[in-house]
Amino acid sequence: MTQVQPTQSKPFLTRSFQAGVTGWIVVFVAMLIELIAGVVVNAMSVTVAAVALIVPAAIPVGIGIVQWVQMRSVRAERPSWWHLGAIAAALFTWVVWPVTPSALLPIHNAHDACTMVYTATPDCVARAMSAMTNSDITWWVTGALIVAIAPLARRSRIAAWATIPLAFAGCQLAGHFLEVFLLHYHFSGA
C-alpha cells in the first residue's frame, strides 16, 4: 500500500490569481485613499497629514515586501518585465505632480515667500525656510524610496505597483508643508 504524501500548499501571495487580485485591490484602494486624504487633510496639521498620507501608501509597500519574501522562499517564477512600467509610472507621477501651491510658483526663496504674504519678519522667514526645506526633503526621499523599491519588482508585482500610491503620498505631503505655511498667514493667493 502506497502512502500519499500531503502536498504543501503554496503561500497565498505566490499564487498568480490570488496575488493579482490582492495587489489590484490594495493598490487601487491605496491610490483612492491617497487622493481623498490629500483633499481632506489640506488644512490640518502636518502630523495628521503625515499619518493620513503615509499609512495608506505603506500598506501596499508592506504587502509587496511580504510577496517578495514569499516568492523568494518558494523560488517562484519571476513576474514579467512589464511590471517595471509601474516604477516608471511612479517616477513620472513623482516628477509631474504639483508640489508647490500656485501662489508660491514664482517664489524661489524664503524671504520672497514672506514678502508675498506681506509679512517679511524673521519668524516668517524661518517658517518659510522650514516649510521649503521639509518639502524638498520629503520630495527627494519619496523619489529615493521609489528607486529603492525597484529591485523588489523582479519578485513582487505588488511592490512594483505600490510605488504609485507612494509617489502620490510623498508629493502630497511635500506640498502640504507649503500649504501649511500659506494657511498660517491666511494667504489664499487670490
**pLDDT tens across 94-115, in order?**
999 999 998 888 888 999 998 8
119 pLDDT higher than 90: no
Report yes or no on 9 lying in a domain: no
Report yes or no on 154 lying in a domain: yes
Question: Would you say 143 and 112 are in contact if contact means Cβ atoms under 8 Å apart?
Answer: no
Report yes or no on 189 lying in a domain: no
Q: Is 151 helix (H, G, I), strand (E, B) or coil?
A: helix
CA-wise closest residue to 146 among 81, 20, 66, 57: 57
Report yes or no on 7 lying in a domain: no
Question: Is residue 29 very low, low, confident or very high in pLDDT (cuts 50, 70, 90)?
Answer: very high
Report yes or no on 41 lying in a domain: yes
pLDDT at 10: 81
pLDDT at 31: 96
pLDDT at 130: 96
Question: Would you say 63 and 162 are in contact if contact means Cβ atoms under 8 Å apart?
Answer: yes
Report yes or no on 57 lying in a domain: yes
Report yes or no on 190 lying in a domain: no
What total of structural domains would you count in the chain?
Answer: 1
Render the burial of 36-66: b for 16+ CB within 10 Å, e for the rest.
ebbeebeebeeeebbebbbebbebbbebbbb
| Cβ-Cβ contacts under 8 Å for 150 (sequence gap 6 or more) | 84, 87, 160, 163
121: which 3 cell numbers?
519678519
Residue span of the structural domain in which 84 resides: 14-184
53 pLDDT higher than 70: yes
Report yes or no on 138 lying in a domain: yes
> Rounded to whole angstroms, how far apart are CA atoms 73 and 75?
6
> Rounded to whole angstroms, how far apart are CA atoms 128 and 108?
11
Integer Rg of the chain from CA: 21
